[in-house]
């Protein structure tokens, strides 16, 4: 085996990993991108849910619209990080939330916000990008605040 062949084979596993979509430090890990895409889909759905809820729960519409606005801001920040990591725009799947069930649906949203805050903090601890980790931590704080707002709405509505 010649030296040039040996040198080519030594780098082959790294190249093959990139071909299979397993790597590239510039692109981030596949599982990290999957987590990011899931957050993008979740934020899109949450924004649509709070907009629809604002129409249904008129008494609390301004607070619910404010949460929807923040969820859209989260969505844009996550999409920007995705673009910076991959060079591709990530469009979330379409969602058509139909809030029904009164306070029960708000309780479910409260649980979802708490769960999202925990998921963001967990993702921030494993993020390979400092800017992505910062976005995750900021979103976690907002989601925790959203859960407190929903708690207040539920208590007022009882």
Counted domains in the chain: 1
The per-residue pLDDT for 95 is 75
At 98-152, the pLDDT tens digits run 667 778 889 999 999 999 999 999 999 999 999 999 999 999 999 999 999 999 9
Q: Give a yes or no: residue 35 inside a domain.
A: yes
The per-residue pLDDT for 29 is 58
Q: Give a yes or no: residue 6 inside a domain.
A: no
Structural domain containing residue 33: 29-157
pTM of the full predicted structure?
A: 0.74
> How far from 36 is each of 44, 129, 137, CA to CA, in Å?
12, 12, 13
Instruction: Please say whether the beta carbons of 153 and 95 come within 8 A.
Output: no
Q: Give a yes or no: residue 7 inside a domain.
A: no
CATH, residue 38: 1.20.1260.10
The per-residue pLDDT for 56 is 87
Q: Give a yes or no: residue 13 inside a domain.
A: no
Q: Give a yes or no: residue 133 inside a domain.
A: yes
With a pLDDT cut of 90, the percent of the chain lying above it is 63
User: In the predicted model, what is the mean pLDDT of the chain?
Assistant: 85
Instruction: Please say whether the beta carbons of 85 and 132 come within 8 A.
Output: yes
Tokens, residue 76: 């844009």
Q: Give a yes or no: residue 95 inside a domain.
A: yes
- Location of structure tokens 């969602």: 95
Q: Give a yes or no: residue 129 inside a domain.
A: yes
Q: What is the DSSP letter of 98?
A: -
CA distance 44 to 9: 45
Q: Give a yes or no: residue 14 inside a domain.
A: no
Q: What is the DSSP letter of 28?
A: -
């Amino acid at each position: 085996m010649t030296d040039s062949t040996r040198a080519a084979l030594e780098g082959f596993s790294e190249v093959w990993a990139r071909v299979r979509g397993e790597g590239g430090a510039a692109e981030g890990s596949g599982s990290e991108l999957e987590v990011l895409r899931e957050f993008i889909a979740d934020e899109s759905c949450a924004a649509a849910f709070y907009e629809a809820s604002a129409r249904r729960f008129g008494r609390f519409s301004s607070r619910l619209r404010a949460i929807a606005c923040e969820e859209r801001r989260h969505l844009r920040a996550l999409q920007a990080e995705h673009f910076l990591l991959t060079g591709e725009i990530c469009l979330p799947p379409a969602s058509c939330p139909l809030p029904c069930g009164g306070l029960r649906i708000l309780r479910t949203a409260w649980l979802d916000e708490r769960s999202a805050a925990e998921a963001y903090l967990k993702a921030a601890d494993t993020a390979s990008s400092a800017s992505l980790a910062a976005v995750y931590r900021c979103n976690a704080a907002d989601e925790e605040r959203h859960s407190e707002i929903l708690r207040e709405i539920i208590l007022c509505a009882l």
